[in-house]
Chains A and B, each alone.
Chain A
Amino acid sequence: MANVPDIKYFDKDFNTLKQDLINYARTYFQNNYMDFSPSAPGNMFIEMAAYIGDILSFYTDTQLQETLLLYAQERKNIIALAYALGYRPKITSVSTVNLDVYQLLPSDGAPNYAPDFRYTLRLGKNSSVKSISKPNITFITQDLVNFRFSSSFDPTTITIYQYYTGTTNPQYYLLKKQVEAISGQIKTTTFNFGNPEQFPTVVINDSNIIQVLSVTDSENNQYYEVPYLAQDTIFDETLNISMNEPNYYNDNDNACFLLRLKKVDRRFVTRFNDDNNLLLEFGSGVTSSPDEVIIPNPDNVGIGLVDGISKLNMAYDPSNFQYTNEYGVAPSNTTLTVTYLVGGGAEANLPSDDIGLGSVVNITVDNFNLNNSILTIVENSLRFNNPEPSSGGGPGETTEQIRLQALANFPTQNRNVTKADYLVRALSMPAKFGYISKAYVSQNYLVANDTDKQNFITNNPLALSICVLSTDINGKITTTSNTIKQNLKTYLSYHKMASDAIIIKDAYYANIKINFDISVLPAYNSQEVLTKAITEIQNYFNIDKWQINQPIIYSNIYNLIGAVKGVQSVINVDITNLAGGNYSPYSYDIKGATKQGVIYPSLDPMIFEVRFPDTDIYGKVVTY
């Protein structure tokens, strides 16, 4: 048998390593060394070897530990691992507030004295408004404020501000809108780029950086931030006006923006490093050729290699194509101007009525040959106020928070996998692209015609159906417009699996009326009990609590009314359908759909709605 040294691989610390080295020397060097007492000079060398072994064990453990997000301790490693899992750490928390924005609007004069909407203003995104008590704190608006646009999710309220002297004819109206704003300050810095360099990086050395707002080069080319350099498209929002989109602009009362995907060659990614500075990394492309010409295809793969039978099993370096526009254009021989936002912190949590000082606002007005003096009055009338305190400002995420957030973020990966993912994603589309109030996701089904067999319905494993409904300006259910559906399609395409197909359909809605009879206990006021019962039913049928394909269960309503204090018994509950006029265009056979005390929705996804709760719920007290 070969003389194989007995090496212990499980020792990790100083003492066990030292003891095993002593045992090893006793076993294999017994004729050369015997003194293992603490004072022996040879012991020093054994201990030094054990010392090195302990250190190596420590670093081996540490390196493994620092590659696992669950156990990593160093902040820079946790941040790097979080980015690898698709989570972007926040190094500051901004304070948010809803700002009231006001402008004066002249009337159009005699004979109607109606608001002259030609003078409505548009306030650009990123307008800044200062605090009154702390002028060094500014708030940045997050959306366009378009006084001409009004909908249920972005209403413009109009009140009369001033009458012509001595008359009751309005001279000026006061328009009011709301816009979300975050605490922050816009800053600018520049970076010079010389000769072309692959994946160049620059660092913004500042604290409390929230985000990069824009990057432009000397030729005014815009660079766009993307989550990964391999991602070459971004969401782009354009105003839904006839000039931009002749097909959809008629729907701009419920979708003021159009959502589109834009392919961008000039792009960059950002990462916070461990000292909270922001690093910008650009792509590697140094050519101006469009991507489509350079991406791998049978004609350009293997250029420069000798053709022939030997090429069949040739390995190609995929990175040959890395140095193209595929990862974006690298800036060269230019100066980049980077505009970014800094701010946040607890000091930005301000009391109400405190934000509205000295604003820097980008105002645009449509050219309608307006009277300049009136326009000046209108522009100078712009005011801001925060009716509620701003809140949410604070320090950024701690290392432990980044770890937990990244772990939570990883399973979803921002992608839609389950039906619930699609439902949440559809409902979370920003309201400026249209408001999806109800959505229902189901496996799509096919109706197939077969000449030999009867028509049959089967599941379509390749597609999902998303049935959607919106709400009108009064908060009533309505059919979703084509523009909103188009925006939803674009929005979902960004998050859907490549192999998924989605069919966006209209859901149906049926309006109902509820009549009920109750008897009241002798000691109670009949009118009061009835009002409470009606209120209970109104709450129960609040449309915010209802989902598509939710059935109505009679016993629930009986129990609800019966639980009202003072109700002796619920004598009868009758639900009928209302259709036409101000109600749904779809009628529904309630009696036919009622089975064993449950009103079932139709096979096609639909929702029940009490459209006018004040009149469509009718109860009476029966006395004997």
Chain B
Amino acid sequence: MLNRPAYRLNPQDVGQKKGIGINVLFNNNTNVFNQTFTTKEQVKSNLINYILTDKGERFFNPQFGGNLRASLFEPDTTFDSVAARLETEIIAFIPNIIIRDIIIKKQSDLNLINLVLEYSINNQNDNLVINVSTTNLSR
């Protein structure tokens, strides 16, 4: 008998279609906000929101944020410590995901950090790629 993969369904993802939250991309032509309707979508938005926020940026929550911009000029070329910190903090703020890998690469000539986050939510794998530079944050 073949082992069937185990799926976990969040109650919010079944039944009538309901809005979970909003997507961080505020570039919808018709609406200001793009709604998310699945936990997977929403978690991705939450991750982006967390990683692209600097510490101290959030009112009354100074520890919130990936603080990647502050790491741009760190001499640590492997960024192992940053990856370890991020893993700990992300689990604290978004506990329903499992982080499988965090890869951070620095392109010193471009003043750019490239972050690849591989994670799973409800046994579904997903990944996130974010580039952080001195001038902008993008994914």
Neighbouring B residues of A41 by C-beta, 8 Å: 21-24, 45-46, 49
Is A39 touching B22 in the complex (CB atoms < 8 A)? no
Neighbouring A residues of B46 by C-beta, 8 Å: 35, 37, 39-41
Q: Given A40-B46, A41-B45, A41-B46, decide whether A34 and B21 contact each other with a Cβ distance below 8 A.
A: yes
| Size class of the A contact interface (CB-based, 8 Å) | 10 to 19
Report how far A434 CA is from B122 CA in the complex, Å: 100
Contact of B21 among A15, A35, A51 (CB under 8 A): A35
Contact pattern, B 78-107, Cβ under 8 Å of A = 1, otherwise 0: 000000000000000110000000000000
Neighbouring B residues of A38 by C-beta, 8 Å: 61, 64, 93
Chain B interfacial positions (CB closer than 8 Å to A): 12, 16, 18-24, 35-36, 42, 45-47, 49-50, 58-61, 64, 93-94
Is A369 at the interface (CB under 8 A from chain B)?
no
Report how far A53 CA is from B59 CA in the complex, Å: 13
Contact pattern, A 367-392, Cβ under 8 Å of B = 1, otherwise 0: 00000000000000000000000000
Q: Enumerate A15-60 residues with CB–CB distance to B below 8 Å.
A: 15, 30-35, 37-42, 44, 47-48, 51
Contact of A39 among B12, B35, B47, B59 (CB under 8 A): B47
Contact of A34 among B20, B47, B60 (CB under 8 A): B20
Q: Measured between C-beta atoms, what is the minimum distance from A601 to chain B in Å?
A: 76
Q: Given A42-B21, A42-B22, decide whether A37 and B60 contact each other with a Cβ distance below 8 A.
A: no
Is A40 touching B60 in the complex (CB atoms < 8 A)? no
Neighbouring B residues of A42 by C-beta, 8 Å: 21-22
Neighbouring B residues of A51 by C-beta, 8 Å: 59
Neighbouring B residues of A323 by C-beta, 8 Å: none
Is A14 at the interface (CB under 8 A from chain B)?
yes
Q: Measured between C-beta atoms, what is the minimum distance from A329 to chain B in Å?
A: 56
Is A37 touching B20 in the complex (CB atoms < 8 A)? no
Contact of B20 among A15, A35, A48 (CB under 8 A): A35
Q: Which residue of B lies closest to A18 (CB)?
A: B60
Is A14 touching B20 in the complex (CB atoms < 8 A)? no
Report how far A32 CA is from B22 CA in the complex, Å: 9
Is B35 touching A32 in the complex (CB atoms < 8 A)? yes
Report how far A605 CA is from B58 CA in the complex, Å: 80
Neighbouring A residues of B45 by C-beta, 8 Å: 40-41
26 A-B residue pairs with CB within 8 Å: A14-B59, A14-B60, A15-B60, A30-B18, A34-B19, A34-B20, A34-B21, A35-B20, A35-B21, A35-B46, A37-B46, A37-B94, A38-B61, A38-B64, A39-B94, A40-B42, A40-B46, A40-B49, A41-B21, A41-B23, A41-B24, A41-B49, A42-B21, A44-B58, A48-B59, A51-B59
Q: Measured between C-beta atoms, what is the minimum distance from B21 to chain A in Å?
A: 4
New contact pairs (13) apart from A31-B16, A38-B93, A41-B22, CB-CB < 8 Å? A14-B59, A14-B60, A32-B35, A33-B20, A35-B21, A35-B36, A37-B46, A39-B47, A39-B49, A39-B93, A40-B46, A42-B21, A44-B49
Report how far A89 CA is from B46 CA in the complex, Å: 58
Neighbouring B residues of A30 by C-beta, 8 Å: 18
Q: Given A41-B24, A41-B49, A44-B49, decide whether A35 and B42 contact each other with a Cβ distance below 8 A.
A: yes
Is B18 touching A31 in the complex (CB atoms < 8 A)? yes
Q: Which residue of A lies closest to B63 (CB)?
A: A38
Neighbouring A residues of B58 by C-beta, 8 Å: 44, 47
Q: Which residue of A lies closest to B42 (CB)?
A: A35
Neighbouring B residues of A31 by C-beta, 8 Å: 16, 18-19
Report how far A15 CA is from B59 CA in the complex, Å: 10
10 closest residue pairs by CB, A with B: A35-B21, A39-B46, A32-B19, A39-B50, A41-B49, A42-B22, A41-B24, A39-B93, A42-B21, A40-B21
Q: Which residue of A lies closest to B18 (CB)?
A: A31
